[in-house]
Amino acid sequence: MNENINVSVNGAEPKPFPKGISLMELARESYDDASICQILAAEVDGEVMELSTHLQDDAVVSFLDITDKNGFRIYQRSAAFLMIFAVQEVLGKGTRVAVEYSIGKNYVCEIRNGGSKFPSLEGCPQGGVVTDEIIEQIDARMRKAVAEAMPIEKVRVTVGEAIKIAEELNQFDKVSILKHRSAESVKLYKLGWYHDYFYGSMAINVACIDRFKLHRMSDNGFLLQFPSGLEGGDLPVPLSRKKVADVFVESGRWARILGVDTVGALNDHICQSGIESVIRIAEALHEKKVANIADMVTEQGRRIVLIAGPSSSGKTTLASRLRVHLKVNGMRTHVISLDDYYLDRDKVVRESDGSINLEKIEAIDVAQINADLAGLLRGETVEIPHFNFRTKLREYNGRTIRMQDNDVIIMEGIHGLNEKIAEQVEKSVKFKIFISALTQLNIDYHNRIPTTDTRLIRRLVRDFKHRGATVERTIGMWPTVMRGEENYIFPFQEEADVFFNSALVYEMCILKPYVTPLLLNVDRSSTAFGEARRLLRFLDSFIAQSSEQIPPNSILREFIGGGWVY
């Protein structure tokens, strides 16, 4: 007699299905032929699973497409796998291709094909120069695989076998990450003849990875563009984000100088030499950049410094460190937080659902900010407010500022680069800084570490240690925070005079001991369980290190504590 299990699909009432039914079979039962090609994976009892998974017990299942954050990650990962396979097919087995960094939600990739270990391949002219013809050939091979609906197979092999496969493909970055694994086996993905290691789930085949575009960017680089949603039509020309790209390129260069551009290389360095030198050099680079910014502000005679950036980027610490360096240059500074200009809660216009969106600039008293800055520049004495987050009211407690000739205002907050802030102040007086943790460290050359993951882990530690917030609460509010950043912060980043990259190549090793126990304590019944498990799998690649050697002025101290009070 066949045994049934009860499965709720996409919020519907549970129905009986045969025990052992695969998620792909369940999707066919739930969608028509036109819709099923959009399904990438499923969330089963809060955890993301591939469509090849077979259900053995009662379950609550939600299918994921590209509009879901986890579905989009799977689309990116599967498209990258398809692209890497196509590069191997076009340029020859063993061609090295790296996913360097992301611009927006698209991947900047680089074909690396030189050096003593990686001889030039016949299909790649001039020792690795990417031509328009090569891009067209890679694109054509990807689309041929999509038309053939080539399956992506998951295979489990021993770590030794995985290392042998990586060595045969010249993937020595993967050898470094694999040799530090404590498990005896590892999961690889197979597309045709090609095997690769990827962190995270994949689509079941490439038929659903049918919307992408390749753009040649440089002699050895190109952009892999993804769709933004389910809508059809041609993909739009991606926005130019040159300043962001320049920061990633610089960070990548420094990571390679340090010899730690991948997690495997970082782990090798820790095992061979310890982490001390990496910490010292990374922190020295931050200190040098802050000093350079202070010199620019001083030499250019700027009176107002505006610092903006997404959550957990280190705005507060940057403002404090910049203040010190400006004092060294003979400047007197006054730090003002835009948060202190929040409107009283009863004056904030509510959303259509009755909620209050504190990410919108309309929640800030822009008129008062402009009036105060104008008064300060005229030499007037201005009383600066303080927002009481307990009473949800703006208060005036007698803090006054009067600017002298060598004074500088440092104003930090998420809307700092919005032109509405200080719009009455001449451009020549303002100096704009955008700060974010634009990590260049990759797990390996095919697996990106999203900058949002770095900031989320920072915030999980900070919110628990300093704000009494649970992991569940921080993870629960993170999608709202990210939407606010997309709408109100990132559109203005190219307006910055300077970008400050607050990422520290070693920081996940330090944060791991702080955040791992918090993530392990998330109950399976929690809506945060799946995200907690994803982050734990990500952190598993890093070797945990003590925070004792982190200097007290490090941006990392803003999250783990123990920093200087300026």
* Cα-only R_g, the chain: 25
More confident residue, 517 or 1: 517
Q: What are the tens digits of pLDDT across the range 107-144? A: 999 997 643 333 444 444 444 578 899 999 999 999 99
Residue 150 pLDDT > 90: yes
pLDDT(548) > 80: yes
Q: What does the mean pLDDT of the chain come to? A: 89
- Name the pairing type of β-strands 400-401 and 106-112: unpaired
Mean pLDDT of 52-76: 94
In order of 53, 60, 202, 363, 446, the CA distances from 25 in angstroms are 10, 15, 17, 48, 30
CA 150 to chain centre: 30
Tokens of 114: 């030189």
Supply the pLDDT for residue 63: 95
Helices 451-467 and 471-488 cross at an angle (nearest 10°) of: 130
Give the pLDDT confidence score for residue 468 in this predicted structure: 86
pLDDT the model gives residue 371: 94
Per-residue pLDDT tens digits for 156-178? 999 999 999 999 998 889 998 88
Q: Which of 160, 256, 97, 101 is nearest to 266 (CA)?
A: 256
Which one, of 188, 137, 174, 339, lies nearest residue 264 by Cα?
A: 174
| Listed range (208-222, 230-244, 262-276, 467-481) with the worst mean pLDDT | 230-244
The helix-helix angle for 276-299 and 242-258 (nearest 10°) equals: 140
Region 34-42: what's the mean pLDDT?
Answer: 88
- What is the separation, in whole angstroms, between the first and last Cα of the chain? 73
The pLDDT assigned to 128 comes to 57
Q: Work out the pLDDT band at 566, boundaries 50, 70, 90.
A: low
pLDDT over 90 at 377, yes or no? yes
240-263 pLDDT tens trace? 677 777 777 777 777 777 788 899
Give the residue among 355, 512, 339, 333 at the shortest CA–CA distance from 431.
333
The whole-angstrom distance between residue 380's C-alpha and the CA centroid of its chain comes to 43
Q: Which pLDDT tens digit goes with each residue over 189-204? A: 999 999 999 988 999 9
For 462-518, the pLDDT digits (tens) are: 999 988 889 999 999 998 888 888 888 888 888 899 999 999 999 999 999 999 999
Alpha helices (runs of H) in 489-553, residue ranges in sequence order: 507-520, 529-539
Q: Give the pLDDT of residue 121.
A: 45
Query: What per-residue confidence (pLDDT) applies to 113?
Result: 65
Task: Pinpoint the alpha helices (H) of 259-354.
Answer: 263-273, 276-299, 315-328
Tell me which DSSP letter residue 446 carries. Answer: T
Nearest CA to 347 out of 415, 394, 414, 413 is that of 394
Average pLDDT over residues 443-456: 91
Q: What's the pLDDT at 315?
A: 92
Contacts of 7 (CB under 8 A, 6+ apart): 14, 15, 16, 17, 21, 26, 55, 58, 59, 60, 61
Please give the angle made by the CA atoms of 303, 307 and 308, to the nearest 5 degrees.
150
Secondary structure tally for the chain: helices H, strands E: 16, 21
pLDDT at 231 over 80: no
Query: What percentage of the chain reaches a pLDDT higher than 90?
Result: 65
Tell me how far apart the alpha carbons of residues 387 and 394 are, in angstroms, rounded to a whole number: 4
Mean pLDDT, residues 537-551 taken together: 93
Average pLDDT (532-550) is 93
Q: What is the pLDDT of residue 114?
A: 42
Distances in whole angstroms, Cα of residue 158 to Cα of each of 163, 202, 376, 432: 9, 20, 67, 52
Query: Which domains does the chain possess?
Result: 4-65 (3.10.20.30), 70-229 (3.30.980.10), 252-560 (3.40.50.300)
Average of pLDDT values for 546-564?
A: 93
Please give the single-letter amino acid code of residue 464. Answer: F
pLDDT-derived band at 33, boundaries 50, 70, 90: confident
* Separation of alpha carbons 441 and 265, rounded Å: 10
pLDDT at 423 over 90: no
pTM of the entire predicted model: 0.86
Strand partners, 108: 101, 223
| Percentage of the chain lying above the pLDDT 70 cut | 96
Give the model's pLDDT for residue 489. Answer: 87
Instruction: Check: CB of residue 444 under 8 Å from CB of residue 163.
Output: no
pLDDT classification of 293: cutoffs 50, 70, 90: very high
On the question of pLDDT at 351 being above 60, the answer is yes
